[in-house]
């Protein structure tokens, strides 16, 4: 399990620079299967059926609420695309990678 899962998101009100492409690429090594697309951290999770997909989405909503860092979700019958970006800074931050690691941990349950 990634050490990122043990971290907690920090409030972000802006005023800090987003990760550079080099910093984001380095952080990407800590979250397997994630990609950076158009400045967003993204991954598609596959499921067997709609029930499993929705159970994941609901559990992820609870995690997102606790972290106060919310993804954009595209939900289908047997898949969920999760995208993170720190909107307050218009780019990626450590919070995005923390939440990505927590998504992976949830998926493995």
> Model confidence over 15-56: pLDDT tens digits?
889 999 999 999 999 999 999 999 999 999 999 999 999 999
89: containing domain: 35-109
Specify if 13 maps to a domain: no
Question: Is 19 within 8 Å of 27 (Cβ atoms)?
Answer: yes
> Any idea what the CATH number is for the domain that residue 94 is in?
3.30.1360.20
Sign of CA dihedral 64, 36, 6, 88: negative
Specify if 106 maps to a domain: yes
Specify if 29 maps to a domain: no
Residue with tokens 């970006």: 85
Specify if 96 maps to a domain: yes
Specify if 69 maps to a domain: yes
For the whole model, what pTM was predicted?
A: 0.93
Three-class HEC string of 8-23: CCCCCCCCCCCCCHHH
Question: Is 53 within 8 Å of 87 (Cβ atoms)?
Answer: no
């Amino acid at each position: 399990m990634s050490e990122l899962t043990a971290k907690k998101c920090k409030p972000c009100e802006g005023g800090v620079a987003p990760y550079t492409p080099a910093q984001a690429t380095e952080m990407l090594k800590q979250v397997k299967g994630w990609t950076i697309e158009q400045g967003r951290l993204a991954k598609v999770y596959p499921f067997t059926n709609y029930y499993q997909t929705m159970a994941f989405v609901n559990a992820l909503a609870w995690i997102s609420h606790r972290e106060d860092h919310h993804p954009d979700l595209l939900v289908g019958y047997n898949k969920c695309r999760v995208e993170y970006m720190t909107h307050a800074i218009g780019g990626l931050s450590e919070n995005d990678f923390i939440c990505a690691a927590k998504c992976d941990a949830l998926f493995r349950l």
